[in-house]
Copies of this chain bind each other. A is one copy, B any other.
């Protein structure tokens, strides 16, 4: 579903320097991010820009046609894009999470063709997995399978080519996870996301009306969290979030720097000639910098830990998975806090004129405030506390 013409085509980088390509994409996204935030809806052109960049295959091993990037590199690309546009970073990050879901919960004969088709057709994957929404069920009549019911918070569902969805299947208590074409008969994508932040993520509803499911589309061996390795899935999700938050914080600070240096006047009575010499402005930049650097150091480290854990595959131990979860949880909390603080505090170093709607500088806070509610930061802190106090590692779940 690639749109025919792109204003700024991204040349397929021969050297496949993911960060350079991501920066190129980010530069184009930056120019139109304010307008996209205002409009909401589906950023079709920009999704196609991502399709055409090749980056949708970033995490797919080279043997299947992908770029074979490690998680640390994938996360860096997500962060780079988030500096310019938190919403595109979100759906871009979910692309890799969806593919990882197929990889982790399914069998090679399931994910190998999906990997290859994703590269070949530049499929964009959407999410319909929300495990807290229990309205969708998997029905089995004889050998035939059907999915029925609704899902909320389906990020990237509009304009997606494939979906990862979840469904209840009582009496079996395990969630059924499936990979299914978005175009399958009976799937209706709501295009109804209209929220205060992360507006062009299409995180609305998907309706499954007795949708036929082919057996090979059910990712059930080992299934959700069905092995230690499979339980890396929430780790990838959480670290993706951390990188989105970090990129948003970096983007906000970068915009603030330009603004303070270019437009801010010294305060009357400050005794300095320029806002850039104001002692309180400098102190606030220092404060934001320390928090950002700390969040960055933790997130970078968590990326390395995840790369290592992933590389171990089925040899990954519970201890190794737990250490990754702890490192990622620390990054998640630190980026949440730094992001919310910085995206609000930047206004103190920019001043009242920076509130003009034309600049759209509140979008960083709105994006962060919206996305950081995915799961409660207080429960992440509880998890970290249990580790800090009693060396207990988190029990794997869709949020830990």
User: Interface residues, chain A, CB within 8 Å of chain B?
Assistant: 40, 132, 153, 194-197, 253, 257, 260-261, 265, 267-270, 276, 279-290, 293-295, 297-298, 301, 330, 333-334, 340, 344, 347-349, 351-352, 354-358, 360-362, 365-366, 369-370, 373-390, 397, 399
Contacts and interface: CB of A to CB of B under 8 A. Distances in A.
Contact of A286 (B195, B385, B399): B385
A311 to B, nearest CB: 22
Contacts of A370: 352, 355
Given A153-B352, A366-B362, A388-B285, A268 B132 contact: yes
Contacts of A283: 280, 283, 378, 381-382, 385
Nearest to A398: B268
A362 to B, nearest CB: 4
Contact of A194 (B358, B365, B366): B358
A8 to B, nearest CB: 28
Task: Tell me the interface secondary structure of chain A in the complex.
Answer: helix
Given A132-B268, A352-B153, A330 B282 contact: no
A285 B153 CA distance: 26
A389 B330 CA distance: 27
Give the number of times this chain occurs in the complex, counting copies.
4
Nearest to A400: B269
25 contacts: A132-B265, A196-B360, A196-B361, A196-B362, A257-B389, A260-B389, A267-B379, A280-B382, A283-B381, A285-B386, A286-B381, A286-B385, A286-B388, A287-B381, A290-B384, A293-B334, A294-B294, A294-B295, A294-B297, A347-B369, A347-B373, A348-B377, A355-B373, A362-B369, A365-B365
Contacts of A281: 385, 389
A334 B289 CA distance: 11
Nearest to A301: B297
Nearest to A338: B294
Contacts of A373: 347-348, 351-352, 354-355
Contacts of A380: 286
Contacts of A366: 362
A355 B196 contact: yes
Given A196-B355, A388-B257, A270 B379 contact: yes
Given A290-B384, A388-B289, A340 B344 contact: yes
A387 B289 contact: yes
A352 B193 CA distance: 13
A122 to B, nearest CB: 30
Nearest to A345: B340
A357 B295 CA distance: 29
Contacts of A257: 388-389
Nearest to A351: B373
A338 B132 CA distance: 33
A397 B269 CA distance: 10
Given A283-B382, A286-B388, A355-B370, A293 B330 contact: yes
